């Protein structure tokens, strides 16, 4: 009796040691499965859509599952990924998605600022936060000012600057701030895609606005004849850029 008893105790002890380990891996494992299930559902939805008999977008079904994972994985990369999924896909889930969006943005900036995922969160807010009262501006400022991840700070700066520039209601003070953010990106984040994008945006602000003289360029027409835009200065010119993407 003594031998089996000792084995049972050892088994329980080993189980006690292993449980926290398994629990810690839970959110990550759940994220992998949930993501795979969602991707499969989207493929099925797209196939049905091509045939003209698609039902509801699968984001509606998966929304609550990702919300639950965000709660379970708070302070973990799985939780950050779950919040990012909600921010990116909320627009497909109707009114419920818009409610979830606000919660996911708040959770991301309160619990996941150290995460590299905040770069993608900041980028997603450019087009995915129109239903928020401030269009995500407060969240972007928190990422910009408090995140320790360089790429996340740069993404937040670029998103905030372009949102201000694209908003016709922005006043002179706001536009000045936007320009300063773009100039800072171009100067302080060399070699990053945000610096490159900022330089392009500054060029657009300085040269491609209504009333500005169009920058000169050289190209070939449909007959392979070289021409310059300045050759037609003083005339009414319609320039049509097109291509296949």
Say whether both 17 and 106 belong to one domain: yes
Say whether both 107 and 27 belong to one domain: yes
Say whether both 151 and 77 belong to one domain: no
Domain that holds residue 146: 129-190
Residue 47 lies in a domain: yes
CA neighbours closer than 13 Å in the CB half-sphere of residue 54: 15
Residue 222 lies in a domain: no
Residue 95 lies in a domain: yes
pLDDT, tens digit (0-9, with 9 covering 90-100), for 43-76: 999 999 999 988 899 999 999 999 999 999 998 9
Say whether both 21 and 108 belong to one domain: yes
Say whether both 64 and 36 belong to one domain: yes
Domain end call among 190, 211, 226 = 190
So what's the pLDDT on residue 3?
A: 53
**Is pLDDT of 114 > 90?**
yes
Residue 232 lies in a domain: no
Say whether both 137 and 184 belong to one domain: yes
Inter-CA distances, 83 with 42, 74, 155, Å:
19, 10, 17
Say whether both 98 and 171 belong to one domain: no
Q: How is residue 163 written in tokens?
A: 């949102």
Report pTM.
0.78
Domain end call among 190, 216, 237 = 190
So what's the pLDDT on residue 2?
A: 52
Say whether both 144 and 94 belong to one domain: no
Say whether both 141 and 99 belong to one domain: no
Residue 99 lies in a domain: yes
Are 147 and 156 a contacting pair, CB within 8 Å? yes
Say whether both 26 and 108 belong to one domain: yes
Please, which pLDDT band fits residue 127 given cuts at 50, 70 and 90?
confident
Residue 224 lies in a domain: no
Q: CB under 8 Å to 96, separation ≥6 — which residues?
A: 60, 63
Counting the structural domains of the chain, the total is 2
Say whether both 95 and 176 belong to one domain: no
Say whether both 21 and 73 belong to one domain: yes
Residue 204 lies in a domain: no
What mean pLDDT comes out for the span 239-243?
79
pLDDT, tens digit (0-9, with 9 covering 90-100), for 3-27: 554 544 444 444 545 545 444 458 9
Residue 244 lies in a domain: no
Domain end call among 54, 86, 112 = 112
């Amino acid at each position: 009796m003594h031998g089996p008893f000792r084995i049972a105790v050892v088994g329980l002890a080993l189980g006690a040691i292993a449980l926290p380990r398994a629990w810690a891996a839970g959110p990550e494992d759940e994220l992998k499965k949930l993501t795979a299930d969602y991707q499969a559902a989207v493929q099925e939805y797209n196939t049905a859509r091509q045939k003209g008999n698609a039902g509801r977008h699968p984001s509606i079904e998966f929304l609550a599952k990702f919300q639950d994972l965000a709660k379970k994985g708070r302070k973990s990369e799985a939780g950050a990924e779950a919040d990012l999924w909600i921010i990116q896909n909320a627009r497909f889930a109707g009114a419920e998605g818009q409610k979830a969006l606000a919660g996911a943005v708040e959770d991301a900036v309160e619990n996941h600022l150290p995460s590299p995922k905040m770069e993608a969160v900041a980028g997603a807010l450019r087009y995915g936060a129109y239903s928020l009262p401030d269009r995500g501006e407060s969240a972007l400022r928190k990422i910009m000012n408090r995140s320790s991840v360089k790429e996340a700070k740069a993404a937040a700066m670029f998103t905030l600057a372009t949102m201000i520039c694209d908003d016709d209601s922005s006043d002179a003070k706001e536009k000045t701030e936007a320009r300063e953010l773009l100039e800072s990106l171009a100067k302080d984040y060399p070699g990053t895609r945000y610096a490159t994008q900022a330089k392009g945006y500054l060029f657009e602000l300085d040269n491609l606005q209504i009333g500005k003289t169009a920058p000169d360029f050289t190209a070939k027409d449909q007959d392979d004849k070289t021409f310059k835009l300045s050759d037609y200065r003083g005339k009414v010119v319609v320039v049509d850029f097109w291509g296949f993407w």
